[in-house]
Amino acid sequence: MDKEKNKPAALLDQQPEPDQFRMEVLDGLSRKRKTLPCKYFYDERGSKLFDAICELEEYYLTRTELAIMEDHAAAMAERIGPACVLIELGSGSSIKTRILLSHLDHPAMYVPVDISREHLLQSVKALEKLFPSVPIQPVCADFNDTFELPNTDGIKGKFVIYFPGSTIGNLEPAQAVDFLQHLVDLKGHVDGMLIGVDLKKDREFLEPAYNDSQQVTAAFNLNLLVRINRELGADFQVDQFRHFATYNEQRGCMEIFLISEREQTVRVADQTVGFQPGERILTERSYKYSLADFSRLATAVGAQVDAVWTDPEEMFSLQYLTLPV
């Protein structure tokens, strides 16, 4: 049995088709207020740039979440229980996951789900060395859509969704409710969800986190245009766009844009898209919640916030949601 567990993981590859990327890009750029889906940030270079963002002094989110994990992972593992199936959405480099896995009681399976195939496989290779007794089944998929889970027949532990970081904040609040419902229905019945939720803070603290002095976040944002050029045969002149991020107090979210520096026309696939000087492409929103706000989202899908762990300044939270039996 141990030899079976130690064999390399086989990838369940459900990466979105290129046509889906093309359709979503063209749809967003055809709108009066242009948008691009933030999920497409994460090609191989984008994933590496995001890892670099997580190391930045201004980017409080990752180090704060890691500190919470270091302080409270044992309590989280106790809530989750033994022999669980841990399904991580947007696993990336799985740095925080290592802390959680080291505290879990004989997890039955770890299922990292990520849209970036190469980054996913690199992360899994590293995790297999660190946790040779944990069966790992990677899934390359867009977790916003329906995707197939590996065979878990015979596993009696809890099925727990792990959704770290602040990705839930990239959804409009109504979309976040729909997404949580999608997670509830993912396996017929999910027992729990451990979700990272960024908490409300002042503009003076938030904006530097998305406008770092080394311009790594700018490179990450602009890389989306590089990817569109490469994969869709577009001709964006990347140096004619600039990164801009600001806090929208009315919405309670950070908004991240690419701004056209001049009047220009860009060909994307078989279509042309015109830009005026100063015209914006919205590439991401990142909503910030109060604890009461997020509790209301959970209640909307029949879930209950069973436990909340925060840092001393209450900048970030990890929340464990349970569902009725």
Give the pairing of strands 159-163 and 85-89: parallel
Q: What is the mean pLDDT of residues 87-95?
A: 83
Confidence of residue 2 (pLDDT cuts 50, 70, 90): very low
Does residue 8 surpass a pLDDT of 60? no
Architecture of domain 2-14+60-201+289-322: 3-Layer(aba) Sandwich (3.40)
Q: What is the mean pLDDT of residues 101-110?
A: 96
Taking the model in full, what pTM does it have? 0.89
d(CA 68, CA 50): 20
Question: Is the sign of the CA dihedral 50, 56, 60, 62 positive or negative?
Answer: positive
H-only helix segments in the chain: 2-6, 18-29, 44-53, 60-80, 95-103, 117-130, 173-184, 203-209, 216-232, 291-300
Torsion of CA 88, 256, 66, 182, to 10 degrees: -20
User: Nearest-CA neighbor of 41 among 163, 211, 125, 167?
Assistant: 167
SS3 call for 176 = helix
Structure tokens at 102: 């080291």
Q: What is the pLDDT of residue 7?
A: 52
pLDDT in tens, 33-50: 999 999 899 888 998 999
Kindly report the number of other CB atoms within 10 A of residue 171's CB atom.
19
pLDDT in tens, 261-298: 999 999 999 899 999 999 999 999 999 999 999 999 99
pLDDT in tens, 181-209: 988 887 666 899 999 999 999 999 999 99
Does residue 325 surpass a pLDDT of 90? no
Would you kindly state where each structural domain of the chain is located, as residue ranges? 2-14+60-201+289-322, 18-53+203-287
Kindly report the number of other CB atoms within 10 A of residue 261's CB atom.
14
Q: What is the pLDDT of residue 154?
A: 84
User: Nearest-CA neighbor of 148 among 156, 138, 157?
Assistant: 138
